[in-house]
Chain A
Amino acid sequence: MDDMARTLEPMIPALRRYARALVRDRSAADDLVQDCLERAIVHWGQRRVDGNPRAWVFAILQNLFKTRARRIARGGAHVPLEDADSGALAIAAPQEEQLLYKQTLNALAQLPEEQRAVLLLVTVEDLSYREAAEILDVPIGTVMSRLSRARERLSNVTSGEARPDGAYPQLRSVK
């Protein structure tokens, strides 16, 4: 049991970061993390002992997100980027960098969800390609192609950042 707490607790900041980058809204993200931790606690005995517990917990979070995303898509609880309260992605950095970060995050939000997940797991959460494949329940080849497309698309979007928002009408939510 103490082993469980010792393993899970250090993961919480990264789980929050991943969840927030997926759903953007702070309280929705923390809901997701809370549910994820509750599940991890209950099912701790059922994880594979030889596997990476971090990948296991991220897989729980990913599955919860998938289920919830479907519900949110139906319920329309989506938070448009412009309306997201500034605290939801509060960043303590010099103004110039803040702008750069904001652009990066906005570009990230424009990626298709499956590409965004791969990119985050691999580049931000330091999971191996194999672990990312397990978490997303796809073959490793799919992880590689999504990663490749995500990077290409992200650099296209950031280099075209100066263009008006209307340049990506297909990615805007329509109310």
Chain B
Amino acid sequence: MTPRPITDDDLHGYVDQQLAPNRTEEVRAYLADHPEVSARINGYVEQRERLRAALAPIAEEPLPSRLNLTRMIEAQRRPRGLPRWASAAAAAALVLLGGAGGWSLNSVSRPAAAGIASLAREAAESYAVFAPDRVRPVELRAADRVDLVDWLTQRLGRHVAAPDLSSAGYRFMGGRMVATAHGPAALFMYDDDHGTRLVMLARPMATERDSVMSPLAQDAVNGFAWAEHGMGYSLVGPPSAEILHPIADDARRQIAHDI
């Protein structure tokens, strides 16, 4: 029986030791009969060894302390543990608070325009604009999640997290940046098997930096808004408040854990 012809992929597989044992034998037999190919392949084997040897010392270096995994996991678990990027934002927030002087928690003195209510309104407006879009509801799709989050984090100057709502049957579709009266905001969109879409809007909060989960109803959408550590979030969509509430709670838990 004539063996299957040897392909270039087989030759590379031979170099990388990724072939099945019997195929390896067939390649070996082929190389024995073809000295020119054999010379090239032996060169690749040598090249592979040299590359591995040249880079091996890096993997043997003692790990720098900032890559201490145990400490990193602890930092992530600590709800108030701020990652590196947050220190600048925290400093900026302190300046802002200091500048506000007599600012108090009294709701009367709180400028309503910059509070949770306006965040919720912006979320509802974004929903009305982007959710009905069947062509390009999001600018970066779910596959580019890391890029999307990186980009939004950079533009907002605060860490932004897209919660995973799949346990409620909502898949992450992607997101975009939107303009609000209070600066750039991150928009994330989700949908379920029926095509029902949810929108989550997130942006830094100048006031009302921490706020409890508050319901809202505007036009055709229901929603909830909250703020934590100076970031405001609002989840809106057509489902009833009873359905949205646990989803918003779940999103809040995830974000708190993430930050």
A167 within 8 A of B: no
B187 smallest CB distance to A (angstroms): 19
Could you show 29 A-B contacts with beta carbons less than 8 Å apart? A4-B73, A5-B69, A12-B67, A16-B61, A17-B56, A20-B55, A30-B64, A37-B67, A38-B76, A38-B83, A64-B146, A64-B150, A66-B147, A67-B147, A67-B150, A90-B57, A92-B57, A100-B50, A101-B54, A105-B55, A119-B51, A123-B15, A123-B48, A128-B18, A129-B16, A144-B8, A155-B43, A155-B44, A158-B47
Query: Is the pair B72, A123 in contact by a Cβ cutoff of 8 Å?
Result: no
Q: How far is the CA of A42 from the CA of B143 in the complex (A)?
A: 17
B59 within 8 A of A: yes
Considering only CB atoms, which chain B residue lies closest to A13 in the complex?
Answer: B59
Query: Is the pair A38, B16 in contact by a Cβ cutoff of 8 Å?
Result: no
Residues 114-171 of B contacting A (Cβ, < 8 Å): 143, 146-147, 150, 161, 164
B70 within 8 A of A: yes
If the complex has contacts A64-B146, A104-B50, are A12 and B69 also in contact, measured as CB distance less than 8 A? yes
Query: Is the pair A17, B76 in contact by a Cβ cutoff of 8 Å?
Result: no
Q: How far is the CA of A92 from the CA of B55 in the complex (A)?
A: 11
Stretch at the interface among A48-56, A74-82, A146-154: A146-154
Query: Is the pair A12, B63 in contact by a Cβ cutoff of 8 Å?
Result: yes
Given contacts A30-B66, A37-B72, 14 further A-B contacts (CB under 8 A): A5-B73, A13-B60, A13-B61, A14-B59, A17-B56, A17-B59, A37-B67, A45-B164, A64-B146, A66-B147, A101-B53, A104-B47, A120-B51, A144-B8
User: What is the interface of chain B, defined by CB distance below 8 A to chain A?
Assistant: 8-9, 12-13, 15-16, 18, 40, 43-44, 47-48, 50-61, 63-64, 66-67, 69-70, 72-73, 76, 83, 143, 146-147, 150, 161, 164, 257-258
Q: How far is the CA of A19 from the CA of B64 in the complex (A)?
A: 14
Q: How far is the CA of A12 from the CA of B13 in the complex (A)?
A: 26
Considering only CB atoms, which chain B residue lies closest to A140 in the complex?
Answer: B9
Cβ contacts under 8 Å, A100 to chain B: 50, 54
Considering only CB atoms, which chain A residue lies closest to B64 in the complex?
Answer: A30
Residues 134-175 of A contacting B (Cβ, < 8 Å): 137, 144, 147-148, 151, 154-155, 158
Query: Is the pair A38, B55 in contact by a Cβ cutoff of 8 Å?
Result: no
Cβ contacts under 8 Å, B143 to chain A: 137
A73 within 8 A of B: no
Q: How far is the CA of A123 from the CA of B46 in the complex (A)?
A: 11
Cβ contacts under 8 Å, B54 to chain A: 91, 100-102, 104-105
Considering only CB atoms, which chain A residue lies closest to B41 in the complex?
Answer: A151
If the complex has contacts A21-B55, A100-B50, A123-B16, are A144 and B9 also in contact, measured as CB distance less than 8 A? yes
Q: How far is the CA of A1 from the CA of B70 in the complex (A)?
A: 11
Query: Is the pair A151, B58 in contact by a Cβ cutoff of 8 Å?
Result: no
Query: Is the pair A154, B57 in contact by a Cβ cutoff of 8 Å?
Result: no
Residues 84-118 of A contacting B (Cβ, < 8 Å): 89-93, 97, 100-102, 104-105, 108
